[in-house]
Amino acid sequence: MEKENPSLMLAFDRHLANIKPVNDYFLKGLETFKNQYLSTQDEGFILKWEKGEERDLFLFPVLNEFGFNQDQVSNIKNSVSFPGKYFNSNTHRLTIDRDCILIRKTEDEQRPQIQEFEIPETTKSISDPIELQFSISENTTILKNVFIGQFDFDKLNFPLILRKWKPGDKMEPLGLGGEKRISDILIDKKIPLPDKSKVYILENKGEIVWLIGIVIGDKFKISDTTKRVWSAELKV
């Protein structure tokens, strides 16, 4: 071909020479975008949701690495106002949050992750899976600290169960006067989507005593008849 049309080959080489700097510039910008907005967590990846031309330019190549096609990425862009909406590729699930998107491997979504830990009455502290300290006192003064749960000792049946919350869990939050789904409480409290999977509960014979660090169960609160207080403090 070069012998037949050397001028054509020369033009082609010049074209490639012009394209390479543009491609290098794009790849450099893509890497900068990923370093700035894409981060890893235990559950997968967090992509900070940013509006603008830069997002539109780099969103597809970033999400394509997780198996999402062009049509899906277009739908994802249009779903920014719908927190909780999710999309599936062959390998990953993408979930829209208020200011970011969460990306997990599909197998992680399907893997059972609920472990239960017993908390006997005599337990003073634990460090795994979260750090908690426990105490029993006759002081019924109520502390206004969401990281400290205070309960009527005589209403508890040990051992309590510590576990992560799961879909379908309900409790009667302090002062509400009725049951409410944990998922709705987390939405009302504006708990970021990546943090929701890290929330634990304390359970007493199937009833939720404490949505840890958020709200206690009304049934187990301190009252005028309380003689002893069992306290649990979340160390953060």
Mean per-residue pLDDT for 41-53?
73
> Do residues 75 and 179 share a domain?
no
> Do residues 202 and 122 share a domain?
yes
CA angle 212-101-69, nearest 5°? 145
> Do residues 131 and 226 share a domain?
yes
**The pLDDT of residue 37 is above 90:** no
Residue 225: its pLDDT value, please? 96
Residue 124: its pLDDT value, please? 96
**The pLDDT of residue 1 is above 50:** no
Question: CA-CA distances (angstroms) from residue 18 to 26, 27, 144, 184?
Answer: 13, 15, 66, 55
Residue 209: its pLDDT value, please? 97
pLDDT: is 125 or 100 the higher one?
125
Which of 110, 131, 166 is the C-terminal boundary of a domain? Answer: 110
**The pLDDT of residue 138 is above 70:** yes
Which of 58, 86, 110 is the C-terminal boundary of a domain? Answer: 110
Residue 101: its pLDDT value, please? 85
Q: Would you give the end-to-end CA distance of the chain in angstroms?
A: 70
Mean pLDDT rounded to a whole number for the chain = 85
Report if pTM > 0.75.
Answer: no
1 falls within a domain: no
Q: How many angstroms from the chain centroid is the CA of residue 23?
A: 35
* Separation CA 167–CA 179 (nearest Å): 15
The total number of residues written for the chain in this structure: 236
Which amino acid, residue 134? F
Residue 9: its pLDDT value, please? 56
> Is residue 212 within 8 Å of 234, Cβ to Cβ?
yes
Please report which confidence band the pLDDT of residue 20 belongs to, taking 50, 70 and 90 as the band edges.
Answer: low
**The pLDDT of residue 232 is above 90:** yes
* Separation CA 45–CA 60 (nearest Å): 15
> Do residues 54 and 83 share a domain?
yes
**The pLDDT of residue 70 is above 60:** yes
Residue 2: its pLDDT value, please? 43
By residue range, what is the domain housing residue 64? 6-110
Q: How many angstroms from the chain centroid is the CA of residue 211?
A: 16
**The pLDDT of residue 173 is above 50:** yes
* Nearest alpha-carbon partner for 49 in 88, 85, 24: 85
Mean per-residue pLDDT for 154-165?
96
CA angle 227-233-236, nearest 5°? 170
